[in-house]
Homo-oligomer: A and B are copies of this chain.
Amino acid sequence: MFRSLVLDALKGNPVDRTPIWLMRQAGRYMAEYRAVREGRTFLDLCHDPDLAFEVTMQPIRAYDLDAAIVFADILLVPAAMGMDLSFIPGRGPVFADPIASPEDVARLTVLAPEQSLTGTLTALERLVDALDRPVLGFAGAPFTVACYAIEGQGSKDWVKVRRFMAEYPDAFQALLDKLSDATATWLNAQINAGAHAVQLFDTWAGLLGPQDFRDYALASSKRVFSQISGVPRIYFMRDSGAVLPWLPDTGCDAVGLDWRVSMSTARATLGNMPLQGNLDPMTLFQGEAQIRAAAHRVLAQAGPTGHVFNLGHGIHRFTPPEAVSILVDAVRSFDWRTI
């Protein structure tokens, strides 16, 4: 029987228990993942459907999580639009040809995922066939992807992005529009391949002031979601405390929270909007009693309906796998009568 808990919670339907999946649940904290990764690049795993399938399945087998999320990366989209992406150990994603001028924006090609991103789509189809629970598709939000495309890599202050925005406002808008439409194309391709829900990751929107957030990050994510229908759409933003009331304006069906906002504040601010999150990933470095108490606090504050339990950010690579088992058990065994 299909385990629809995550979809029910994302729609605000009643559930027997709060479902759980974890951002970056397939990753370096698992020995099984490191074994597959050995001798291969991160992009090898993304583009090979067998490997992507395998590492996506690992956390499902190990922890029986309530949803799988296809193994991929938010920067596959700009790479498939012509940018030269590599992942450098110790440094993360690097574009050899960052966007530095309006001409560079014009150079980006239209995304054709059925040609360039077949590894992910094939893996997705197989996951949907193999699993008795939802498989999630995802993409980077346009603003976040634009940050990497312009900066060329991760940054502390993203000053190249901010200067590009100031110097070439029209080209920046054109870049967001292009990325928005490509992202919508990409999410729709994942939905066609069977994805039961999709999530936008807006990791860097939180660096913007409120006006810029509305004009750039929110507007471009809205442009993506307006082209998607038929499955629940989750908007996850890091560092959203200052703009929380506006997040539903993206047109999302559920809001993913990072760990800085208390669930009670989020509920008070967003009412019955389905929420996803938001345990501090660093809680998993603590002992069993603390993990259980922290998980129960999130569950109690979120309430029994319209909540998908998750971390507030990706699992840290040094996380002890036993801590993940404890967390999953804490969420599964939570009893509303005890609060």
Contact = CB atoms under 8 A, between A and B. Distances in A.
Interface of A: 154, 156-157, 159, 162-163, 165-167, 206-212, 239-244, 259-262, 265, 280, 282, 285-287, 290, 294, 297, 312, 316, 318
Contacts of A265: 210, 242
A297 B211 contact: yes
Contacts of A240: 241
B286 A166 contact: yes
B159 A208 contact: no
A178 B316 CA distance: 30
Please state the number of chain copies in the assembly.
2
Contacts of A286: 166
Contact of A285 (B163, B207, B208): B163
B209 A312 contact: yes
Given A239-B239, A282-B159, A316-B159, A260 B209 contact: yes
Contacts of A282: 159, 162, 165-166
Contact of A241 (B157, B166, B241): B241
Point out which of A165, A242, A262, A286 has the most chain B C-beta atoms below 10 A from its C-beta: A242
Given A156-B156, A209-B259, A239-B260, 13 more contacts: A154-B156, A157-B316, A159-B318, A206-B239, A207-B260, A210-B262, A211-B294, A239-B239, A240-B241, A241-B242, A241-B260, A242-B260, A242-B265
Point out which of A154, A209, A240 has the most chain B C-beta atoms below 10 A from its C-beta: A209
A317 to B, nearest CB: 9
